[in-house]
Amino acid sequence: MRAAKILILDDEPNTQKTLRRALELEGYQSVTAGTIQEAQQAIDKESPDLCLFDVRLPDGDGIELLEKLRKEGVHTPVVMMSGHGSIDEAVKATRLGARDFLEKPIGQDRLLLTIENALQVRRLEEENAELRREALETRGLDDLLGRSTVMQTLKQQIERVAESEGRVLITGENGTGKELIARALHLASGRRNKPFVSLNCAAVPGELIESELFGHEKGSFTGAVKQKLGKFERADGGTLFLDEVGDMPAAMQAKLLRVLQTGEIERVGGQDAIRVDVRVLAATNKELEEEISQGRFREDLYYRLNVVPLRSPALRERKADIPVLIEAFMGEAASRNHRRPLRLQESALAAFASYDYPGNVRELRNLVERVVILAPPDAEVLEAKDVEAFLPGAKKVSSGATYEAGKRLSELVADAERAIVAAAMEAHGGAVADAARALGVERSNFHKKLKALGLK
């Protein structure tokens, strides 16, 4: 095992010599620097495992160097040293991430114990980071299938964000896997051994959502025959995922905001504030900025939730992932429905990829299962025609899209536009947001367009 390398930054040669001798007798490697400039060069060149920084130096301040390194993303453990340190300096250094603050003259036993502890903490941090990566690569990435550029970028973002305590707002169309992203964030975080609790805000009646989130006391309302813990208490120490948060009633938004501000909840019918330690992740398929402008969503709650935004891409934006997804879904569907695994010709894969999947990954999964179930019993390899038979037909746009005598060009264009918009609405199941997004139109403008064209 390689001996740890320690950088000694001190402008007194005798101190350098004493520290160096003590460290090397314990089997450590050592590098010395007398100025901040020399220390920066040594950090770049030697990549030390730990740094010992004096506070007062000829060309600056060791605490300022620590702050500069942290801003640059250098997280090497640092122990500060000072012959005339103050409590304020010690507090500042600790807040900046210094492992300890030692006053000179430093006893050898104290020095070695501090270094040993700092290196042990660093090793534990690296092991935890590795475990988080493994968790993401096993469970998290098993669910987040795909090797496309957009998915690789998303996975990298998840890995970075997971290590923090920042709240995350996940946006994206229905069926893109927003909950899978939330679970991956939880599993790659330091909270992975604690509960992951989810609530679909759109699926709970408005009068019950407070009880679902905060719990209730026995007798607090009709039907409350016993005490119930809410989602926040059940998620204590872990993660709470609020799906479709854009559908949360206005009154509940105010109460959620207060919890995010204080970290305390009150059960319905209760009198006592209950402290909870919960990381909140939220998701929505709505354009919350527009919801805010329409007075349907609180702006202050939006900023509380949207500390780190993540976007779940639509399947049409990552069609390169379709073969990987099909392979996984095909195996699942064959096992679940007691069918033999099927192989796909390139033409069959191309047929799958020819469709835009307004229902996204969820629609692809259902389509693959349908193909598996309805394929001929003796089929082993599927061709394009076997897949095309199950693909939803393309919406034909013809009404008013051709020349018609007696109509002006503006009328013909309006007729064609009406047919296109109607077809888009039909293709997306009447979901205005999805149809607008597919056509590249702002949702508010799309509403106006529907009204102007006489469409509902």
Q: What is the pLDDT of residues 360-394, one digit of tens each?
A: 999 999 999 999 888 887 788 888 888 888 887 53
Please name each of the domains of the chain with its CATH number. Answer: 5-126 (3.40.50.2300), 144-313 (3.40.50.300), 316-388 (1.10.8.60), 409-452 (1.10.10)
Q: What is the pLDDT of residues 73-104, one digit of tens each?
A: 788 999 999 887 678 888 888 888 899 999 88
Over residues 11-33, mean pLDDT: 93
DSSP state of 419: H
Q: What is the Cα Rg of the chain in Å? A: 30
pTM over 0.85: no
291 vs 404 pLDDT, higher one: 291
Q: What is the distance between the alpha carbons of residues 197 and 231, in angstroms, rounded to a whole number?
A: 7
Over residues 149-178, mean pLDDT: 92
Residue 263: pLDDT band by 50, 70, 90 thresholds?
very high
Contact 416, 380 (CB under 8 A): no
Burial of 239 (0-12, 13-18, 19+ CB in 10 A): buried
Which strand (E) or helix (H) includes residue 19? helix 13-25
Sorted by sequence, the CB contacts under 8 Å of residue 161 that are 6+ apart come out as 168, 185, 308, 310
Contact 450, 421 (CB under 8 A): yes
C-alpha atoms less than 13 angstroms from C-alpha of 181 in its C-beta half-sphere: 31
Beta pairing, strands 56-57 & 60-61: antiparallel
Over residues 161-185, mean pLDDT: 93
Q: What is the pLDDT of residues 194-228, one digit of tens each?
A: 999 999 999 998 888 999 999 998 888 887 778 88
Contact 258, 301 (CB under 8 A): no
Percent of the chain with pLDDT over 70: 92
Q: Is the pLDDT of residue 238 over 60?
A: yes
408 vs 268 pLDDT, higher one: 268
Percent of the chain with pLDDT over 90: 51
Beta pairing, strands 215-216 & 228-229: antiparallel
Residue 404: pLDDT band by 50, 70, 90 thresholds?
low
